[in-house]
Structure 1
């Protein structure tokens, strides 16, 4: 009996620094984000640069592997949370800012980070802002190729 030959290709681990080319799209073919051709995205697993739910899918893949996965909202960006809708006064926004449903605005958090908020509705002097991830509730198709493994 002989053992099946083991691959000698490097494998992505939980500590790897890697470069990938990837594409995120919706089931209807709408492109959400993708890397430019010949410009792989380089990051270290677990450093917060890349979406952790997607990172975990890369662990264990060999160099050169291409993976294409359809992710339910729970596995991608989560489901919308009603607690992430905030009502604000129109006066809190710059006078020249268009306040229309669907408009995405960057808000500064107390820690100095910026998070996107999508205007959900404008009613009188009140503006309802949705701070859920813009892709919350969406099924995502994630395609990635492991281009390089540095460590």
Structure 2
């Protein structure tokens, strides 16, 4: 028997695609989405999307909808206690005083911005968790390949 090839284009490791998607917590809380009318366009392998999710898109045909439940290891990772730091309270601006639960963007020495969640505030220090805010979380990812621009 010969292998039947699909006439539809498929996503490759270096494809540029347009993707409509929903990323939700398991209880249905929406984290992020891109609609069919305004899909997210990006090139795989450029770091614009989660690497582990990009891997799951490779091989899908144009028009395919994938519904995936992702464990923390496939989504935003596991918490690392080494990513929790105490910072001097006076290093925070008066315009945006630190408050427990607040997520703030911090600049790294390389110029990247990473989110930090404030865990605790006292008179002298602020404890900040630099793990991804969705670390240790199972998520539901539903995506449709709207276009392949190769």
TM-score (norm 1): 0.94
Matching of residues 1-151 of structure 1 within 5 Å: 3=2, 5-151=4-150
> Which segment drifts farther, 104-113 or 63-72?
104-113
C-alpha displacement at 1:122, in angstroms?
1.1
Cα-to-partner distance string for 1:7-48 (whole Å, 9 max, x where unaligned): 110010111111110110000011000013401111111011
C-alpha displacement at 1:4, in angstroms?
5.9
Distance in structure 2 (CA, Å) of the matches to 1:4 and 1:74: 34
- Secondary structure of the residue that 1:25 maps to in structure 2? strand
Distance in structure 1 (CA, Å) of the matches to 2:3 and 2:43: 31
RMSD of aligned Cα (Å): 1.2
Q: Which runs of 5 or more structure 1 residues have no equivalent in the other structure?
A: none
Cα-to-partner distance string for 1:64-99 (whole Å, 9 max, x where unaligned): 000000000111100111011010011111123232
- Secondary structure of the residue that 2:52 maps to in structure 1? helix
C-alpha displacement at 1:114, in angstroms?
1.3
Distance in structure 2 (CA, Å) of the matches to 1:66 and 1:72: 19
> Which segment drifts farther, 56-65 or 87-96?
87-96
- Secondary structure of the residue that 1:69 maps to in structure 2? strand
Q: Which runs of 5 or more structure 2 residues have no equivalent in the other structure?
A: none
Distance in structure 2 (CA, Å) of the matches to 1:60 and 1:6: 12
